[in-house]
Chains A and B, each alone.
Chain A
Amino acid sequence: MFQKFTPPFFLLQITTPPQKNPPPDFTTGYQYPVTINPPPRAELFTRIDMVMLAVLMLMTAYFILYKRSRREVRLISLFSLLYFGFYRHGCVCSVGSLQNVAMAIFHNGYALPLSVGVFFILPLLFALFFGRVFCAAVCPLGAAQDLILQKARRVPVWMDETLSVIPYIYLGLGTLFAATGTVFIICEYDPFVAFFRLSGGAMMVTFGILILFLSTFIGRPYCRYLCPYGVLLRWAAAWSKWKVHVAPEKCIQCHLCAESCPFNAMRMPVPDEVRPSRKSTRAVLSRVLWLIPFLAILGGVTGRLASPLLSHVDITVQTADRVWKERHGLVHGETLESQAHRANQIPDDLLYAKAAKIRRTYTLYTTIFGVWLGLVFGLKLFFITTRHRWDDYDADPAACLACGRCFGYCPSEANEKYAEGGVYIKGNLK
Chain B
Amino acid sequence: MISDPIHSNSPQNNPWMIAAYRTARAMEIFCVIMLAILLANSIRARINDPNNPVKLENLLVQLSQNPKDENLKKEIRNLDVTIRKNYFRSQFIAKYGLCLLIGALVVYLLCLEYLRSGNKTTPLPNVNIAKEPWLNPALSRRSIYVLGGIMGGVLLSLIVLSRHDVTYAYIHNDLFTVSNTASAPASPPPPMVQQLASAPATVPTAPTAATAPTPSNALANANTAAGTPLLGTAANTASSTPALRPVTPTAITPISPNVQTGVPTPSAAASNDSAASIATAYPSSWSNQWNMFRGPSGTGICTLSDIPLQWDGTQNQNILWKAPIPLPGWSSPIVWKDNIFFTGGDKTQRLVYCYSLSYGSINWQYKVHVKGCNTVPQVGDDTGFAAQTMATDGKRVYAIFPTGELVCLDFTGKPLWLKFLGTPDNEYGMAASLLLCEGKLIVQSDQGSDSTDKKSSIMAFDGKTGKQLWRTPRPVGSSWATPIAIKVNGKTEIITAGNPWVISYDPATGKEIWRCECLGGEVAPSPIFSGPFVVVSNQGANIVAIRPTGKGDITKTGIAWMGMDGLPDIVSPLSDGKRVYLFTTQGQITCYDTMTGKELWTHQMADNIKASPTLVGNSIYLLDTKGVMHILAAGDQFNETGKNPVGERTYSSPAYVDNKIIIRGEKDLFCIGK
**Are the CB atoms of B129 and A259 closer together than 8 Å?**
yes
Residue from the list B123, B165, B166, B449 in contact with A259, Cβ < 8 A = B123
Complex Cα distance, B4 from A400, in Å, reads 25
**Are the CB atoms of A328 and B166 closer together than 8 Å?**
no
**Are the CB atoms of B130 and A255 closer together than 8 Å?**
yes
User: At the interface, yes or no: A198 with Cβ under 8 Å from chain B?
Assistant: yes
**Are the CB atoms of B234 and A328 closer together than 8 Å?**
yes
**Are the CB atoms of B137 and A271 closer together than 8 Å?**
no
**Are the CB atoms of A356 and B170 closer together than 8 Å?**
yes
User: At the interface, yes or no: B362 with Cβ under 8 Å from chain A?
Assistant: no
**Are the CB atoms of A353 and B133 closer together than 8 Å?**
no
Residue from the list B42, B175, B555 in contact with A349, Cβ < 8 A = B175
Q: Can you list, as one digit per residue, whether each of A147-178 has a CB less than 8 Å from chain B (1) or not (0)? A: 11011000011110110010001000000000
**Are the CB atoms of B106 and A82 closer together than 8 Å?**
yes
User: At the interface, yes or no: A278 with Cβ under 8 Å from chain B?
Assistant: no
A274-B131, A348-B243 are known contacts. Are A161 and B144 too (CB-CB below 8 A)?
yes
Contact-size category for B: 35 or more
A259-B123, A320-B170, A355-B170 are known contacts. Are A384 and B131 too (CB-CB below 8 A)?
no
**Are the CB atoms of A429 and B122 closer together than 8 Å?**
yes
Chain A residues within an 8 Å CB radius of B155: 302, 306
Among residues of A, the one whose C-beta sits closest to the C-beta of B35 is A209
Which of these binds chain A: B530-538, B596-604, B625-633? B596-604
Complex Cα distance, B632 from A268, in Å, reads 60
Interface class of chain B by DSSP: helix
A275 to chain B, nearest CB (A): 5
**Are the CB atoms of B238 and A328 closer together than 8 Å?**
yes
Chain A residues within an 8 Å CB radius of B604: 109-111
Residue from the list A74, A111, A275 in contact with B113, Cβ < 8 A = A74
**Are the CB atoms of A150 and B102 closer together than 8 Å?**
no
Question: Which of B127, B171, B245 counts the most A-chain CB atoms under 10 A from its CB?
Answer: B171
Among residues of B, the one whose C-beta sits closest to the C-beta of A147 is B109
Q: Can you list, as one digit per residue, whether each of B232-250 has a CB less than 8 Å from chain A (1) or not (0)? A: 0010011001110100000
Interface class of chain A by DSSP: helix
User: At the interface, yes or no: A420 with Cβ under 8 Å from chain B?
Assistant: yes
**Are the CB atoms of A349 and B243 closer together than 8 Å?**
yes
**Are the CB atoms of B200 and A271 closer together than 8 Å?**
no
Chain A residues within an 8 Å CB radius of B562: 347, 349-350
Complex Cα distance, B175 from A356, in Å, reads 10
Q: Can you list, as one digit per residue, whether each of A18-36 has a CB less than 8 Å from chain B (1) or not (0)? A: 0010110100000000000
User: At the interface, yes or no: B382 with Cβ under 8 Å from chain A?
Assistant: no
**Are the CB atoms of A384 and B144 closer together than 8 Å?**
yes
Chain B residues within an 8 Å CB radius of A276: 134, 137-138
Q: How many residues of A contact B (CB 8 A)?
A: 93
User: At the interface, yes or no: B186 with Cβ under 8 Å from chain A?
Assistant: no
Q: Kindly identify, within residues 560 to 611 of chain B, every residue whose CB is under 8 Å from any CB belonging to chain A.
A: 562-564, 588, 601-604
User: At the interface, yes or no: A129 with Cβ under 8 Å from chain B?
Assistant: no
Residue from the list A75, A327, A356, A380 in contact with B241, Cβ < 8 A = A327
Among residues of B, the one whose C-beta sits closest to the C-beta of A267 is B133
Complex Cα distance, B170 from A381, in Å, reads 42
Residue from the list A22, A78, A157 in contact with B132, Cβ < 8 A = A157
A89 to chain B, nearest CB (A): 12
Among residues of B, the one whose C-beta sits closest to the C-beta of A303 is B155
**Are the CB atoms of A324 and B168 closer together than 8 Å?**
yes
A109-B603, A321-B165 are known contacts. Are A268 and B133 too (CB-CB below 8 A)?
yes
Residue from the list A165, A305, A346, A360 in contact with B144, Cβ < 8 A = A165
Residue from the list B2, B117, B123, B135 in contact with A256, Cβ < 8 A = B123
A111-B604, A352-B173, A384-B140 are known contacts. Are A22 and B449 too (CB-CB below 8 A)?
yes
B418 to chain A, nearest CB (A): 26
**Are the CB atoms of A352 and B137 closer together than 8 Å?**
no
Q: Can you list, as one digit per residue, whether each of A371-410 has a CB less than 8 Å from chain B (1) or not (0)? A: 0010001001100110100000000000000000000110
B192 to chain A, nearest CB (A): 14
Residue from the list B125, B141, B146, B159 in contact with A381, Cβ < 8 A = B141
Which of these binds chain A: B77-85, B91-99, B546-554, B640-648? B91-99
Which of these binds chain B: A43-51, A237-245, A307-315? A307-315
**Are the CB atoms of B140 and A158 closer together than 8 Å?**
yes
**Are the CB atoms of A271 and B117 closer together than 8 Å?**
no
**Are the CB atoms of A357 and B144 closer together than 8 Å?**
no
Complex Cα distance, B122 from A162, in Å, reads 30
**Are the CB atoms of B177 and A109 closer together than 8 Å?**
no
User: At the interface, yes or no: B148 with Cβ under 8 Å from chain A?
Assistant: yes
**Are the CB atoms of A308 and B141 closer together than 8 Å?**
no
Complex Cα distance, B174 from A269, in Å, reads 61
Q: Can you list, as one digit per residue, whether each of B438-473 has a CB less than 8 Å from chain A (1) or not (0)? A: 000000000001000000000000000000000000
User: At the interface, yes or no: B427 with Cβ under 8 Å from chain A?
Assistant: yes
Chain A residues within an 8 Å CB radius of B94: 198-199
Among residues of A, the one whose C-beta sits closest to the C-beta of B603 is A109
User: At the interface, yes or no: A86 with Cβ under 8 Å from chain B?
Assistant: yes
Among residues of B, the one whose C-beta sits closest to the C-beta of A414 is B122
Complex Cα distance, B150 from A165, in Å, reads 13
Chain B residues within an 8 Å CB radius of A353: 170, 174-177
Q: Can you list, as one digit per residue, whether each of B244-288 has a CB less than 8 Å from chain A (1) or not (0)? A: 010000000000000000000000000000000000000000000
Chain A residues within an 8 Å CB radius of B151: 169, 373
User: At the interface, yes or no: A68 with Cβ under 8 Å from chain B?
Assistant: no
B286 to chain A, nearest CB (A): 37
User: At the interface, yes or no: B181 with Cβ under 8 Å from chain A?
Assistant: no
Complex Cα distance, B230 from A324, in Å, reads 13
Q: Kindly identify, within residues 328 to 356 of chain A, every residue whose CB is under 8 Å from any CB belonging to chain B.
A: 328-330, 345-350, 352-356
Residue from the list B133, B243, B559 in contact with A270, Cβ < 8 A = B133
Chain B residues within an 8 Å CB radius of A412: none
Among residues of B, the one whose C-beta sits closest to the C-beta of A393 is B130
User: At the interface, yes or no: A260 with Cβ under 8 Å from chain B?
Assistant: yes
A198-B95, A377-B144, A430-B122 are known contacts. Are A23 and B378 too (CB-CB below 8 A)?
yes
**Are the CB atoms of A78 and B243 closer together than 8 Å?**
no
Q: Can you list, as one digit per residue, whether each of A401-428 has a CB less than 8 Å from chain B (1) or not (0)? A: 0000000110000000001110101000
Chain A residues within an 8 Å CB radius of B169: 324
Complex Cα distance, B170 from A312, in Å, reads 14
**Are the CB atoms of B165 and A309 closer together than 8 Å?**
yes
Complex Cα distance, B127 from A295, in Å, reads 38
A275-B134, A354-B564 are known contacts. Are A380 and B122 too (CB-CB below 8 A)?
no
**Are the CB atoms of B159 and A309 closer together than 8 Å?**
yes
Among residues of A, the one whose C-beta sits closest to the C-beta of B520 is A345
Residue from the list A82, A284, A409 in contact with B122, Cβ < 8 A = A409
A349-B242, A421-B117 are known contacts. Are A255 and B126 too (CB-CB below 8 A)?
yes
A255-B129, A274-B135 are known contacts. Are A360 and B200 too (CB-CB below 8 A)?
yes
Complex Cα distance, B535 from A221, in Å, reads 57
Chain B residues within an 8 Å CB radius of A147: 109
A255-B126, A353-B174 are known contacts. Are A387 and B144 too (CB-CB below 8 A)?
no
**Are the CB atoms of A384 and B141 closer together than 8 Å?**
yes
Among residues of B, the one whose C-beta sits closest to the C-beta of A82 is B106
Q: Kindly identify, within residues 408 to 423 of chain B, every residue whose CB is under 8 Å from any CB belonging to chain A.
A: none
User: At the interface, yes or no: A359 with Cβ under 8 Å from chain B?
Assistant: yes
Residue from the list B95, B171, B588 in contact with A109, Cβ < 8 A = B588
Chain B residues within an 8 Å CB radius of A354: 564
**Are the CB atoms of B564 and A346 closer together than 8 Å?**
yes
A158-B136, A328-B238, A356-B170 are known contacts. Are A302 and B156 too (CB-CB below 8 A)?
yes
User: At the interface, yes or no: A254 with Cβ under 8 Å from chain B?
Assistant: yes
User: At the interface, yes or no: A100 with Cβ under 8 Å from chain B?
Assistant: no
A170 to chain B, nearest CB (A): 12
Q: Kindly identify, within residues 150 to 170 of chain B, every residue whose CB is under 8 Å from any CB belonging to chain A.
A: 151-152, 155-156, 158-159, 162, 165-166, 168-170
Residue from the list B130, B449, B556 in contact with A268, Cβ < 8 A = B130
Chain B residues within an 8 Å CB radius of A110: 604
A-B contact pairs, 13 of them (CB 8 A): A158-B139, A162-B143, A165-B147, A259-B126, A302-B155, A308-B202, A328-B238, A349-B176, A350-B176, A363-B200, A381-B141, A384-B137, A425-B120
Q: A161-B140, A353-B174 are in contact. List 7 more A-B contacts (CB 8 A).
A: A2-B520, A198-B95, A256-B123, A268-B130, A350-B562, A384-B140, A420-B120
